[in-house]
Amino acid sequence: MSSQRATAFVPGHVTAFFSAHPADDPAVAGSRGAGVTLTDGVTVRVSAGDAERATGDAEGVTGDAERATGDGEGDTTIDGEFGSIGAVDDVLAELDATAADVAVETDLPIGAGFGVSGAAALGTALAANDAFDRGRSENDLVGIAHAAEVGRGTGLGDVVAQARGGVPIRLEPGAPGVGELDGIPGTARVEYVTFGELSTETVLGGDTAALSAAGEDALDRLRADPRLQTLTDAARGFARDADLLVPEIAEAIAAVESAGGEAAMAMLGRTVFAFGTGLSDAGYDPEGCRIDAAGARLVDEGDRR
Amino acid sequence: MSSQRATAFVPGHVTAFFSAHPADDPAVAGSRGAGVTLTDGVTVRVSAGDAERATGDAEGVTGDAERATGDGEGDTTIDGEFGSIGAVDDVLAELDATAADVAVETDLPIGAGFGVSGAAALGTALAANDAFDRGRSENDLVGIAHAAEVGRGTGLGDVVAQARGGVPIRLEPGAPGVGELDGIPGTARVEYVTFGELSTETVLGGDTAALSAAGEDALDRLRADPRLQTLTDAARGFARDADLLVPEIAEAIAAVESAGGEAAMAMLGRTVFAFGTGLSDAGYDPEGCRIDAAGARLVDEGDRR
C-alpha cells in the first residue's frame, strides 16, 4: 500500500486546559490536559521529490525547479506559498526523507491555538512514511512528530491528541508508550472565532508553575465528570486562574453564556470555541465544524491502491 | 450533549492472528495479535425505554408493548428481530440501563469472525452512556464492553481493536489502562467472502497452547515490519501453524495468490479477506469495504445537539 506520494489529514486541536511537563527526553516531555479535535484540520501531501518531477505535480509543489535542484532537499509549501516548519523538517530528517516535497494546506488560522504546527508534523510523518515506504508503526510516527514538536517548543500535547481524535484527555504526558490518554465520548458541532495570535513559545518559555497548578485542578474536575459541559467549565476556570484570559475572549464567553450557551478559550491563542450553536446564538459569525471522530489518518486520493 | 436516545457505530474487526491470555480479572484477560477494522460494521441504537414509549420509535424496537411492560426491562433486537446478546445485557447491567431498548443492526455475517458480538457490546456501552447520561469516559466504556465480551467467552481482543480503528496491533492484552496497542498506518480497500460459522467459544475453550505460540511468532514478525503485506503473510503462517485453516479458505487464499494478490483467514470464522481487489481478481464475488480509520464512535442522527 505504499507509493511515491501520499496524503494525510490531521484534525485541528483546541486545548481547553493543560499543565506543562518538560523533560530532557522529548518522548517523556509533554502536557496533561484536555481539548477538542476538529473536522477542520490540516492536509499534508508528501511526494518523493525527484521521483515526482518527471510527472509534474497537480499541487504545484514541485514547480520551482531551480529551488528544488542542487541541494537535494525537497520543498515545503504552506497553503501554496514556499515556507518551512521546523517540526516538519525534523520529522523528514528522522525518516530520512529530506528529499520530500511537502504541501501543507489548512483553513485553520495559524498561531491561534489550533495545533497547526503539530498537525503539520504528524501529517508529514504519516504521509512520508507511506510515500517513502519506511515501514514505521503508528506509535513510532506519532512519537517522531511529538518529539519534533516538543523539540521546537511549538507544542506539548497537540500531536498525541490529534492522533487519537475525539475529545482527548491527556492523563499522562508524553509520546505513545510513555503518555496515557482517555477521552470524553461525544459528538457535537463546534464553533470558533479567532481574534489573533498568542505565542506558544513565549508562554511555554515563561514560568509555568501557576499555569500548571491550574491545569491540574481542571484535569481533576474533568476526570471526576468526563462530560463536554465540564470541559468548558474547567477550561474557563483554567483561563482565569492561569491569567491567560484576554478581553475579547472574556467578552465573547460572557456573550455566549448570556445567550444560554457554553464557551471557552483555546490554549494558546486568541480564540474562543463553543459547542452547538453557542457563538452564532450570541451574534458572532463563527467558523463551524464538528468533533473529529477519527484522528490523524492517511487518506486515499483517487482511491489509490 | 446527552439525550434519551443515542446511536453508535462500531467497525467490524477481522483478526489476522492472535495469542490467548486468559485471566481471572476480565480487565487483564485478553489477546495479543493484529487485525483489520472495517467500514462495514455494527450500528447500535439505544433508547431509554419508557421515555420513548410515549413518542413511539422509528426503529420499531418498542412496538411490543406486552413484552416491554411488567419486567421493567427493555427489548433488544438484532436486525429487527427480538433476540438477546449476553455481552450487551452485561453492559446494560453495568451501566444501570437495563430499561434500555437496544436495536443492533449489521450487514456483517454473525459468527463468521467479524467481531459482531464485541461491536454490539461496545456500541451499546457508548450509546447507553449517552442516552442515560451516565458520564463515563471512553476508556471506562471500552473496559466495560471488553469485560462483558471476555466474561461471555465470545471474544478476547475485538473490543479494544474496534475502539481504536485502523489496523490495530494488540501489543499487550487487556482493557484500556492495562493492555497496549499500536497500529499499521494504511488505508486500503478490503474484500471478504464468508463460507460459514466457526465457534469462537469452542476454539477458545480448547487447548490454546499451540495456537498462542503461533500467534506470538506472527506478532514478532509483524512488529519487526509493520506493513499490510506482512500482516497477511503472518496471518497465513498462523492459520497453518495453529491448524485452523479450513479447505474452502485454503483454496481461496491460493486462488488470490495465483491472481497476484494477498489474502488471509479471519479468526475465528470461515472467512477469507484480502486487501485491494484480490478476491475479485481471483473470480470471487466478495463484499467490499475499506479500513475504518475512526474506530467506535457515537454518530449524530439528524444532527441532534
ipTM of the complex: 0.90
Q: Is the model more confident about B54 or about A189?
A: A189
Q: Write the residue in A186, A226, A298 that is nearest to B185 by C-beta.
A: A298
Going by C-alpha positions, the residue among B137, B101, B138 that lies closest to residue B10 is B138
Q: Residue B39: exposed, middle, or buried by beta-carbon count in 10 A (0-12, 13-18, 19+)?
A: middle
What sign does the dihedral B51-B54-B57-B60 (CA atoms) show?
positive
Report residue B304: phi and psi, to 5°.
-60, 140
Per-residue model confidence (pLDDT) at position A302? 61
Q: Residue B276: list chain A partners with CB under 8 A.
A: 305
For the cut 90, the answer to whether the pLDDT of residue B90 exceeds it is yes
Q: Which residue's C-alpha cell is 499487550?
A: B172
- Is the CB of A118 inside 8 Å of chain B's CB atoms? no
pLDDT in tens, A58-85: 443 444 444 444 467 899 999 999 999 9
Per-residue model confidence (pLDDT) at position B202? 67
Per-residue model confidence (pLDDT) at position A52? 42
Q: Give the distance from residue B73's alpha carbon to the nearest chain A alpha carbon, in angstroms.
A: 25
Domains of chain A from N-terminus onward: 1-305 (3.30.230.10)
Per-residue model confidence (pLDDT) at position B70? 47
For A296, the grid coordinates are 490523524
Q: Is the model more confident about B50 or about B210?
A: B210
Q: Write the residue in A129, A135, A276 that is nearest to B225 by C-beta.
A: A135
Question: CA nearest A276 in B: which residue?
Answer: B305
Per-residue model confidence (pLDDT) at position A291? 98
The answer to whether B165 contacts A136, with C-beta atoms less than 8 Å apart, is no
Give the Cβ contact number of residue B283 at 10 Å.
Answer: 9
Per-residue model confidence (pLDDT) at position A98? 96
Length of chain B as a residue count? 305
**Can you give the pTM of this predicted structure?**
0.91
pLDDT in tens, B146-184: 999 999 988 899 999 999 999 999 999 999 999 999 999
For B130, the grid coordinates are 449517552
Per-residue model confidence (pLDDT) at position B65? 41
Q: Which segment of A104-113, A192-201, A245-254, B155-164 scores lowest on mean pLDDT? A: A192-201
Helix, coil or strand: residue A34: strand
* CB proximity under 8 Å: A 54-113 to B: none
Mean pLDDT across A35-55: 81
For the cut 70, the answer to whether the pLDDT of residue B280 exceeds it is yes
Q: Residue A299: list chain B partners with CB under 8 A.
A: 187
* CB proximity under 8 Å: B 183-242 to A: 183-189, 223, 225-228
pLDDT in tens, B51-63: 444 344 434 344 4
Q: Give the distance from residue B232's alpha carbon to the nearest chain A alpha carbon, in angstroms.
A: 13
Per-residue model confidence (pLDDT) at position A282? 97
Per-residue model confidence (pLDDT) at position B153? 87
In which band, very low, low, confident or very high, does the pLDDT at A280 lie, cut at 50, 70 and 90? very high
Mean pLDDT across A125-142: 98
Question: CA nearest A140 in B: which residue?
Answer: B182
Question: CA nearest A139 in B: which residue?
Answer: B182
Mean pLDDT of chain B, nearest integer? 90
Per-residue model confidence (pLDDT) at position B60? 37
Whether the CB-CB separation of B214 and B238 falls below 8 Å is answered with yes
User: Best mutation site among A180, A187, A279 for testing chain B: the one with the most B CBs within 10 Å?
Assistant: A187
Per-residue model confidence (pLDDT) at position B201? 65
* Chain pair A-B, CB pairs under 8 angstroms: 105
